[in-house]
A and B are shown apart, each in its own frame.
Chain A
Amino acid sequence: MGAKQTRSAQKYQDLTDKTGFSPEQIKNLHKRFQQLSDNEETISRENLEKIPALANNPIRKQIIDAFFDKRNQHQNEVGAFQEIGFEQFLMVMSHFRPPTLKTTEEEREAMRKEKLRFLFNMHDTDNDGTITLEEYRKVVEELLSKSGAIGLEAAKAIADAAMLEVASTNVPHMAPDDFYEGITFEHFEQILKGLEMESRMHIRFLDVDTMTMRCGKSKS
C-alpha cells in the first residue's frame, strides 16, 4: 500500500510538472475521469457525448473534438485521437487554468497565447493555419444553431461582417483584386486582444488557492 501511494504520488508529480495543476486538483480530476470512463483507462467520444448537460450546448461537437485534437497536446502532432488517457485529458484541461497573483507579465502573455491557440485550433478544422471564410461561417452557424431559421440566414451575414472586420483591421489597404486568404493566428491574436483571454478563459474549479478545494468537494 505504501508503495502504491508513492507510485501514484510520483505519477502525480510528473503530471504536476507537465500541466501545472496541484496534486489535489489532479486527484479530483482523476476521480472525474474515472467517472466518465466507467473506470477504464481511456475515454472515447461516446463517453463524452453521454454527458447529459452537454446536450444543450450548441458547440458540443467542437468541444468534444477539442479533447481528441492532437494539436492541443503541445507535441507538434496533428490529427485526432480515437481515445485519450488521463494525461491527455489533463493537458486539455490545463488550458483553462487561471493566472495567479504571482504570474509575471511574460507568463501572462504566454498563457494568453496558449489559450488563443486553443480557440484557434477549434475554429481551424482543416489545420491549414488559417481560418477561412467557410470555417468561420461554420462557427457562427453552430453558435446560432439552436435558434432555427433566423439563425442560419443571419449567420452568413454575421460571419461575412466579422471577416471583413478582421481584414480591415489587419490589412487595411488591399487592392480590389487582392484576396484575403483567411485569419492567421497573428490576426486572430490581434482581433481578440481586447478580451484579455488569460483572465476570462478559465474554470473556477481549477483555481489553486480556492479554499473549498481543501474540502475536497467538486463544487466551489
Chain B
Amino acid sequence: MRNFNIRGESVRDVVSGSNETWIRPARSTQEDPHDHHGNSTEHKKAFPVLAFNFEHVRKPFEISMWILLALLMKLGFHIIPRISHVVPESCLLIVVGLLVGGTIKAVEGTNAPVLDSKLFFLYLLPPIILDAGYFLPIRPFTENLGTILVFAVLGTLWNVFFIGGTMFAVCQIDGAGLADVDLLSCLLFGSIISAVDPVAVLAVFEEIHINELLHILVFGESLLNDAVTVVLYHLFKEFSHEGSVSVGDALLGVVCFFVVSLGGILVGFIYGILGAFTSRFTSHTRVIEPLFVFLYSYMAYLSAEVFHLSGIMSLIACGVIMRPYVEANISHKSYTTVKYFLKMWSSVSETLIFIFLGVSTVAGPHDWNWTFVVFTVFLCLVSRVLGVIGLTSIINKFRIVKLTKKDQFIVAYGGLRGAIAFSLGFLLTDSKMKHMFLTAIITVIFFTVFVQGMTIRPLVELLAVKRKKESKGSINEEIHTQFLDHLLTGIEDVCGHYGHHHWKDKLNRFNKKYVKKWLIAGERSTEPQLISFYNKLELKQAMMLVESGSTSKLPSVMSSVSMQNIQPREPPRRRAMPSISKSREEEIRKLLRANLQNTRQRLRSYSRHDLMIDPFEDNVSEVHLRKQRVEMGRRMSHYLTVPANRQEAPPVRKVGFQPEHQVFTYDDAESPRSAEMKPRSAAVRLLNELPQRSDQSDAEPNAKQDDQEDQLKLSRGLSDPGPNQEQKES
C-alpha cells in the first residue's frame, strides 16, 4: 500500500476494513462494525485501475516543469536566429518570465511564485559562480588584480555613498512623499543597488566577445565586490533598526570588511587544498572524481555563508586553488565531465534566474514612486560613470598598459545590475519602504539589462573596441610566454628590482618544489608546464583528427609540410634507418597490425596495458590509436590502391599466389638494404598482409614505381615519426 494519505474518502485502501482498523486503532468504533460488515458482505468498490494523485509529486514536478520550461525557452531562442542576434538572451528570458507570471496571475490569482532568496542564494547562484571561478583565466586576472580591486572596493564604496547620500537629499524634496525615508535607509538602498552583478555581466558579455582585458576587469569587479556588498548591507541593515551609526561602528565595519573578504578567501583556500589532496587518490575510482570538485566547492560556499563571510569569494578561491592540481590528477573523461556539468548547471541557473526575475516582477507588491525610481536610475548611471573616470585617472598612474577612454566607457557601461540586488532587497523586512525599494531595484535591473544589454553590442562595434582574439593554442606562443617570463625575471634581477616577475617566479618555484609533490599524484608532479601544455595540445589535435577521421579532408590546419621538410638534410644518412629500439619496434608493429586489422576489440585491449603511451592519459591512448589508424590508413590508401582487409596471412604464402606481385616479396625488399632490414621488414610484411587480388592489374605498375617510394615513405613514417607519434612514444 503505497499511498500514505490518511484521507477519509480515499478509495485506495486496497485492503479495506480490517486494515483500516489495524492502522488506525484510534478511529471511532462506530465505523468499524459498519466496515466489517461491508467487508464481508459488500464488494462494491472496484479496484482502482487509474488514479490521480498530484500532491504526492507536487514539489519535484513543479521544479522539473520550471526547469524544462526554462530550457525549452532557451532552445527556442536559438532556433530563431534573427532575434538572438539583436536581443541578448537575458532580455528574452525576462520577457518570458513576465509572460509566465502574467499567465499564472490571471489563472490562479496571486499565487505566482517569487524568486525566493533562499532558493536564489543557496541553489541558483553557486553553480554560476563556480563555473566562473573554476574557468577564470588566471593570468589576466592576476596581472590586473590591482585594478580590479580598486574598481571593486573603492568603486562600490563610492557608488554606495554617492547614491545613498544623493537619494537622501532627493527624499528631502517636498512633494515627493518620501520624507519618511531616513539616511540609513537610503544608504541601505544604496548598498543594495550599487553592486555590479556577475550573472548579468556574464550573460551579456559572453555574447559580445570583447577583448580579454575588459572582460576580466568588469567580470572580476563583479565577483570581488561581493565582500563590500555583504559588509555594507549587513551593517546598514543592523543599524537601520537602531537609527544611527557611530564612528566606532564604522570602524568595526572596516574591520568586518577585511574579515569577510580574507576569511572567505581562507575558507575557499582550505577547501581547495582538501579537494586537490583528495583528487590525488582517486586513480582507482575515476567515476566519482567530478563529484569531489563540485562538493568541495559547494561546501566552501556554504561554510563561508555560515559565518557570514563572502561566499562568492570563497567559491572563487576554492575553484582557482583546486584547478591546477585537480586537472593534473583526474582523468581526461572526468575533466570533460566537470567542464560540461559546470556549464550545464550554470546555464540552467542563469536561465531560471532571469525567468524568475520576470515572474517576480509580475507577482511582487509594487509601490511606484516616480521621483524615487527615476532618480535611482539616473543616479546609478551618473555615479557609475563618475566613479570609473575618477578611479581610472588614479589607476592609470600605476598601470603599464593604460586604460583608454574607450576602455573606460565599456567598463562604465558594463556595470549591470541583476538578481543579486533583487534578492538582497527581497530579504529586507516587510514595510512600505521595502515595496518602494523593490520597485526601484526592479526598474534599474530592467533598465540595465534591457537598454544597456541590448545596446552594448552595437556600441562595441561602433567604437571598434578590440575583440577577443581566437587563439588556437600555439606551441610557439607558449614557449615564448615561458621564455619571456624567465627573461623578464632575469632582467629584474639584474636591475636589482623585486617586482611582479620576481615574486611570481618565487611562487612558482615554491609551488613546484613543495606543493605539487603533495597534491599531485605520481610522476605528473614533476612535469613542467611546457610539457603539460604540449601534451594537451597534442591531445586536442588528436581528437580533432579522430573526429574528422572518416572524411577525406584533414583539418585545414595541416599543410603539406611534414617532418621531412624540417629535418636537417644529410643525404647519405637520409635513406638509412636510424636504429629503433626493440621495444619501439614492437610497439610500431603492434600498432600497424592493429590498424590494418581494424578491430575495435584489439584497440581496447591495447589502450590500457600494451602501449606505452603517456601512462597518465589512460583513456587517451585509444584516441591516439584511432588517430594513428586514421593517419596510417590514409597514407596507405594514398599509395596503394587495394583496400585494407582483415586477413592476416603469413606473407610468403600470400605472395606465392600472385606471382606478378613479386616485387612485394620479402627478398626483394630486403636485398638493396639488408643492413637496416629489420624495421623495414615489419613494414613490408604488413604491406603484404594487404590482400592483393589478382584482378588488381593497376596495382602492378603502381607497385614497381611506388614500391621503393612506398616503403621508403612508410618507413620514413616509422623512423621519422611526426611530432604526434613521437610524443606518443616518448
Q: Which residues of A contact B (CB under 8 A)?
A: 29, 32, 35-36, 48, 51, 53-54, 56-60, 63, 67, 93, 96, 98, 100-101, 119, 122, 132-134, 139-140, 143-144, 146-148, 150-151, 153-154, 156-158, 160-168, 171-176, 178-180, 191-192, 194-195, 199-205, 207, 209-211, 218-220
A-B contact count (CB 8 A): 197
Q: Other than A100-B402, A151-B528, A199-B401, give 19 A-B pairs with Cβ distance below 8 A.
A: A36-B494, A59-B483, A93-B491, A96-B491, A101-B404, A132-B568, A140-B479, A140-B530, A143-B530, A161-B475, A164-B561, A174-B565, A180-B565, A192-B480, A195-B477, A203-B488, A203-B497, A204-B400, A205-B495
Q: How far is the CB of A92 from chain B (nearest CB, A)?
A: 9
How many Å lie between the Cα of A35 and that of B496 in the bound state?
Answer: 9
7 A-B pairs with C-beta separation under 8 A: A119-B483, A157-B726, A179-B569, A195-B481, A199-B400, A202-B400, A207-B400
Q: By the criterion CB–CB under 8 Å, are B484 and A200 in contact? A: yes
How many Å lie between the Cα of A140 and that of B469 in the bound state?
Answer: 26
How many Å lie between the Cα of A156 and that of B502 in the bound state?
Answer: 29
List, in ascending order, chain A residues with CB within 8 A of B530's CB.
Answer: 140, 143-144, 154, 158
How many Å lie between the Cα of A171 and that of B561 in the bound state?
Answer: 8
Q: How far is the CB of B521 from chain A (nearest CB, A)?
A: 16
**B111 is an interface residue with CB less than 8 A from chain A:** no
Q: By the criterion CB–CB under 8 Å, are B494 and A51 in contact? A: yes
Q: Which residues of B contact A (CB under 8 A)?
A: 396-398, 400-402, 404, 469, 471, 474-477, 479-484, 486-500, 502, 505, 509, 523, 526-528, 530-531, 534, 537-538, 557-569, 722-723, 726-727, 730
Partner of A157, one of B484, B499, B560, B730: B730
Q: By the criterion CB–CB under 8 Å, are B489 and A192 in contact? A: no
Q: By the criterion CB–CB under 8 Å, are A51 and B493 in contact? A: yes
Q: By the criterion CB–CB under 8 Å, are A150 and B486 in contact? A: no
Q: By the criterion CB–CB under 8 Å, are B489 and A219 in contact? A: no
Which 3 residue pairs across A and B have the least CB separation, nearest first? A161-B723, A172-B559, A53-B493
Closest to B534 in A: A158
- A151-B531, A158-B530, A202-B400 known; A32 and B495 CB under 8 Å? yes
Q: By the criterion CB–CB under 8 Å, are B559 and A173 in contact? A: yes
Q: By the criterion CB–CB under 8 Å, are A211 and B398 in contact? A: yes
Q: By the criterion CB–CB under 8 Å, are B568 and A134 in contact? A: yes
Q: By the criterion CB–CB under 8 Å, are B484 and A201 in contact? A: yes
How many Å lie between the Cα of A192 and that of B479 in the bound state?
Answer: 10
List, in ascending order, chain B residues with CB within 8 A of A192's CB.
Answer: 476-477, 480
Q: By the criterion CB–CB under 8 Å, are B397 and A210 in contact? A: yes
How many Å lie between the Cα of A96 and that of B490 in the bound state?
Answer: 12
List, in ascending order, chain A residues with CB within 8 A of B475's CB.
Answer: 158, 161-162, 165
List, in ascending order, chain B residues with CB within 8 A of A157's CB.
Answer: 534, 723, 726-727, 730
How many Å lie between the Cα of A205 and that of B653 in the bound state?
Answer: 77
Q: By the criterion CB–CB under 8 Å, are B490 and A60 in contact? A: yes
Q: By the criterion CB–CB under 8 Å, are A205 and B474 in contact? A: no
Closest to B560 in A: A173
- A158-B531, A173-B559, A194-B471 known; A143 and B484 CB under 8 Å? no
List, in ascending order, chain B residues with CB within 8 A of A191's CB.
Answer: 474, 476-477
List, in ascending order, chain B residues with CB within 8 A of A154's CB.
Answer: 530-531, 534, 727, 730
List, in ascending order, chain B residues with CB within 8 A of A165's CB.
Answer: 474-476
Q: By the criterion CB–CB under 8 Å, are B498 and A219 in contact? A: yes
Q: How far is the CB of B494 from chain A (nearest CB, A)?
A: 6
How many Å lie between the Cα of A63 and that of B484 in the bound state?
Answer: 11
Q: By the criterion CB–CB under 8 Å, are A176 and B730 in contact? A: no
Q: By the criterion CB–CB under 8 Å, are B474 and A211 in contact? A: no
- A32-B496, A157-B534, A160-B726 known; A57 and B479 CB under 8 Å? no
Q: By the criterion CB–CB under 8 Å, are A57 and B561 in contact? A: no
List, in ascending order, chain A residues with CB within 8 A of B562's CB.
Answer: 164, 176
How many Å lie between the Cα of A63 and that of B491 in the bound state?
Answer: 8
Q: By the criterion CB–CB under 8 Å, are A205 and B492 in contact? A: yes
List, in ascending order, chain B residues with CB within 8 A of A132's CB.
Answer: 568
Q: By the criterion CB–CB under 8 Å, are B566 and A167 in contact? A: yes
Which of A157, A168, A200, A210 has its CB near the most chain B CB atoms (within 10 A)?
Answer: A157
Closest to B497 in A: A205
- A168-B561, A174-B561, A201-B484 known; A219 and B494 CB under 8 Å? no
Closest to B720 in A: A160
Which of B402, B566, B726 has its CB near the most chain A CB atoms (within 10 A)?
Answer: B566
- A151-B531, A165-B474 known; A176 and B565 CB under 8 Å? yes
List, in ascending order, chain B residues with CB within 8 A of A172's CB.
Answer: 559-561
How many Å lie between the Cα of A57 and that of B486 in the bound state?
Answer: 7
- A119-B480, A139-B479, A201-B488 known; A144 and B560 CB under 8 Å? no
Closest to B490 in A: A63
List, in ascending order, chain A residues with CB within 8 A of B482's CB.
Answer: 143
Q: By the criterion CB–CB under 8 Å, are B499 and A203 in contact? A: yes
Q: By the criterion CB–CB under 8 Å, are B509 and A56 in contact? A: yes
List, in ascending order, chain B residues with CB within 8 A of A180's CB.
Answer: 561, 565-566
How many Å lie between the Cα of A146 and that of B527 in the bound state?
Answer: 11
Partner of A139, one of B483, B489, B502: B483
- A157-B534, A165-B476, A211-B397 known; A54 and B493 CB under 8 Å? yes
Q: By the criterion CB–CB under 8 Å, are B486 and A143 in contact? A: yes
Closest to B213 in A: A199
How many Å lie between the Cα of A162 and that of B530 in the bound state?
Answer: 12
Q: By the criterion CB–CB under 8 Å, are B400 and A164 in contact? A: no
Partner of A148, one of B483, B526, B561: B526
- A165-B474, A171-B561 known; A29 and B495 CB under 8 Å? yes
